[in-house]
Amino acid sequence: MIQFTLLFAAILGGLAVVFGAFGAHALKKMLTTEQLKSFETGVKYQMYHAIVLLLIGFNFTFKTASEKYMVYSFMLGIILFSFSIYGLVISSAKNKKLTFLGPVTPIGGLFLIIGWILLFVSILNMQF
């Protein structure tokens, strides 16, 4: 579980850099300022939570269910939240808006919140 968490974090962190560069250069001319800001929000949240996953991977043993669910919540939250934003922004810029992705973004946000709550619980249960 530790290696899986760290590898997933590394992949998501690297992709955040790629998507950030893609947004800043390739998409800058085809997106409105508001769309670009939304895209950047997806990139920021992806990177922030990739860093959180790295910290979790280096500091937790994953012996409890809450620690495992915490990681899965963050992973699912990142994918649903950030990638739905990418899909919404790019499809909107191409006038083929994928409206079904609209409700996916807040579900991803909910999973991120659950991940943070489980992190809080896991820290409370730590033996120092």
> What are the tens digits of pLDDT across the range 49-106?
999 999 999 999 999 999 999 999 999 999 999 999 999 999 998 889 898 999 999 9
Per-domain residue ranges for the chain? 2-124
- What distance in Å separates the CA atoms of residue 45 and residue 64, rounded to the nearest whole number? 26
Tokens 């079904």 belong to which residue? 100
- What distance in Å separates the CA atoms of residue 120 and residue 14, rounded to the nearest whole number? 26
Outline where the chain has alpha helix (H): 2-25, 33-59, 65-93, 104-124
Verdict on whether the full-model pTM lies above 0.85: yes
- What distance in Å separates the CA atoms of residue 96 and residue 68, rounded to the nearest whole number? 38
- pLDDT above 70 as % of the chain: 100
Task: pLDDT band for 40, please (50, 70, 90 cuts).
Answer: very high
